[in-house]
Amino acid sequence: MTKNYSSEIASPLSSNHEDYLKAIYILEARGEQVTNSVLSEYIGFTPASATNMVKKLSQMDLVIYRPHQAVSLTPTGRRVALEILRHHRLLELFLHKTLDIPWDSVHEEAERLEHVISEALEDAIAASLGYPKVDPHGDPIPTKTGEIGPTPGHPLSQAKAGRAYKLVRVLSQEKERLAYLGRLGLNLYVELFLREHAPFDGPVLVEVAGVEHALAAEMAALLQVVPASA
Amino acid sequence: MTKNYSSEIASPLSSNHEDYLKAIYILEARGEQVTNSVLSEYIGFTPASATNMVKKLSQMDLVIYRPHQAVSLTPTGRRVALEILRHHRLLELFLHKTLDIPWDSVHEEAERLEHVISEALEDAIAASLGYPKVDPHGDPIPTKTGEIGPTPGHPLSQAKAGRAYKLVRVLSQEKERLAYLGRLGLNLYVELFLREHAPFDGPVLVEVAGVEHALAAEMAALLQVVPASA
DNA sequence: GTTACAATTTAGCCATGACTAAAAACTACT
DNA sequence: AGTAGTTTTTAGTCATGGCTAAATTGTAAC
Ligand SMILES: [Mn+2]
Ligand SMILES: [Mn+2]
Ligand SMILES: [Mn+2]
Ligand SMILES: [Mn+2]
């Protein structure tokens, strides 16, 4: 299990160390201030535990920690986070495409696998998938060297009514939510027609494969779309 | 990660718990007395650590422990061991067949993955492989219900000279050894001709794909063969 | 500037599971 | 049976990383 980053890191990182770094990366990428409470809520441990872990990561030079300030990743910490995120998203796609695991289940599974695959296995998976760029939810897959592309699309909630769109990304990993979307036929790359936005932040009416559905405004905000081309 | 055995077990088992149970199973299956020193040497921890862990497993009703006696598995302990062994061998075969990971590398990788795959993933892997019976080293794969078939073949070291055989199992997971065998063309199911046994427990001369090789007696003892049929 | 409230940190506890060193218990040989 | 040697167990240490509860710090309203 020799990791890419192993040369730069003194002690080996546990699964939880890696999940903390990944969480910080994702929260930063959302543009949020990564406060202790935001972080601890996201990872599901108590604030005291988060403080404790962040201090340790800081000693390892993986994060910048100043008391009462938002944490941020050091360049090395970012490298580790992107490495794990690459594992995660490659695994999601691999499980989905190679083993037909439904898109609402791959996240959970990848959450554990991401910590135990070797670099050789990561490479073999990437090669077998043809070096893919996005995972089953449309999230971009970081490259081996830690680059990550721009995120495609814009929220359906801000799209213009009376036009056709293609779903390119879903900003959620919730199993139930994804299962529901799947039942509506709202899978990745499906084409949909946006009928109207009900006023006062009301539901969004969309047509998918000839059937009309009403989506809550918050749901529509999670669906990233681009104008349909064909 | 709901395991098959989860209903019968109080506390969740760590990777190391599972590796201990698997080790006890394998040592028992070899017909060895699983003494504390045998066990601790096999798993690579100190004897004191092994005693400690065996006591805990005993409290969980997974092993029978009497001081100064060989340990043995309870029915539940055996179930857990076989479940993990199934994961391990299915993963080895999957990595080898689906991702072309060489047979000398799959063991290491499976050693970690075996602890984190869900039952759903186990099932998906088994299905995608067509419910296979043996792994890339010829080791039998336990069934979902915990049955395990008889082990095929007999040692090449005890085979008669002047006859053709088929390699059906290699009793080793050592990377270097497997890589060496691979270089000689001694892969699973390959046909070979046994020329002679040198006397005084000397080397064994075999012909593989028209090339003759001399194998140490201990090496030949690890190669399980059956008479060539075709 | 006080004061109230929320966020964060500190202090201290606990379980886990490795380790070393010492004690105890078995085994085997005389 | 006694003793030497080996194996196993016990006792005690340490690091890890969660937790709760209490103390502290920062913020915003008065
Ligand atoms: Mn994870
Ligand atoms: Mn994803
Ligand atoms: Mn293992
Ligand atoms: Mn094997």
> For the segment A55-82, what is each residue's pLDDT rounded down to a tens digit?
999 999 999 999 999 999 999 999 999 9
Say which residues have a Cβ less than 8 Å from residue A69's Cβ, sequence separation at least 6.
none
Enter the tokens of residue A116: 């135990």
- Give me the pLDDT at residue B97, please: 98
Comparing A230 with B55, which gets the higher pLDDT? Answer: B55
- Give me the pLDDT at residue B11, please: 83
Q: Which residues of B touch A1 (CB under 8 A)?
A: 112
Cβ contact A128:A98 at 8 Å: yes
Q: Per-residue confidence at A183, pLDDT binned at 50, 70, 90?
A: very high
Query: Cα separations (Å) of A229 from A92, A197, A226, B91?
Result: 27, 22, 9, 42
| Cross-chain Cβ contact A113/B117 below 8 Å | yes
Enter the tokens of residue B55: 């006591």
Cβ contact B168:B224 at 8 Å: yes
Q: Give counts: helices (H), strands (E), chain B.
A: 8, 8
The string of DSSP codes covering B165-210 is: EEEEEE----HHHHHHHHHTT--TT-EEEEEEEPTTT--EEEEETT
Q: Which residues of A touch B101 (CB under 8 A)?
A: 120-121, 124
Q: What is the mean pLDDT of residues A20-46?
A: 97
Which of B116, B120, B125 lies nearest to residue A113, judging by beta carbons? B116
Measured torsion, CA atoms of residues B35, B41, B44, B47, in degrees rounded to the nearest 10: 50
Whether nucleic acid strand D comes within 7 Å of the CB of B67, the answer is yes
Dump pLDDT digits (tens) for A107-159.
Answer: 999 999 999 999 999 999 999 999 999 999 999 999 999 999 988 899 999 99
Q: Per-residue confidence at A10, pLDDT binned at 50, 70, 90?
A: confident
Which of B115, B118, B124 lies nearest to residue A100, judging by beta carbons? B124
CA of B130 from ligand 4 middle (Å) equals: 18
Q: Strands across the sheet with A211-215, in order? A: A154-155, A223-227, A163-170, A191-197, A204-208, A211-215
Residue A172 has pLDDT above 50, yes or no: yes
CA of A91 from ligand 2 middle (Å) equals: 9
SS3 of B224, please? strand
- Give me the pLDDT at residue B151, please: 87
- Give me the pLDDT at residue A95, please: 98
DSSP B74: -
Q: For residue A113, what is the nearest residue in chain B, using CA coordinates?
A: B116
CB atoms within 10 A of CB B19: 22
CB atoms within 10 A of CB A132: 17
Q: Per-residue confidence at A1, pLDDT binned at 50, 70, 90?
A: very low
Query: How large a percentage of chain A has pLDDT more than 90?
Result: 91
- Which of A18, A93, A116 is the best residue to mutate to test the B interface, defined by the most B CB atoms within 10 Å of its own CB? A116
Q: How far is the CA of A68 from the C1' of C3 (A)?
A: 21
Residues in chain A: 230
| d(C-alpha B91, C-alpha B139), whole Å | 13
Buried b (16+ CB within 10 A) or exposed e, B186-206: bebeeebbbbebeeeeeebbb
Q: How far is the CA of A217 from the C1' of C12 (A)?
A: 47
Q: Is the pTM of this model over 0.85?
A: yes
For A149-215, what is the HEC assignment? Answer: CCCCCEEHHHCCCCEEEEEEEECCCCHHHHHHHHHCCCCCCCEEEEEEECCCCCCEEEEECCEEEEE
| d(C-alpha A171, C-alpha A178), whole Å | 10
What residues of chain B score a pLDDT lower than 70?
A: 1-4, 230
Q: How far is the CA of B53 from the C1' of D3 (A)?
A: 33
- Give me the pLDDT at residue B3, please: 58
Comparing B201 with A17, which gets the higher pLDDT? Answer: A17
Q: For residue B119, what is the nearest residue in chain A, using CA coordinates?
A: A109
Find residue A154's DSSP bridge partners: A225
Contact residues of B toward A, CB < 8 A: 1, 95, 98-101, 105, 108-109, 112-113, 115-118, 120-121, 124-125, 128
Cβ contact A73:A24 at 8 Å: yes
| Phi–psi pair at B156, nearest 5 degrees | -60, -30
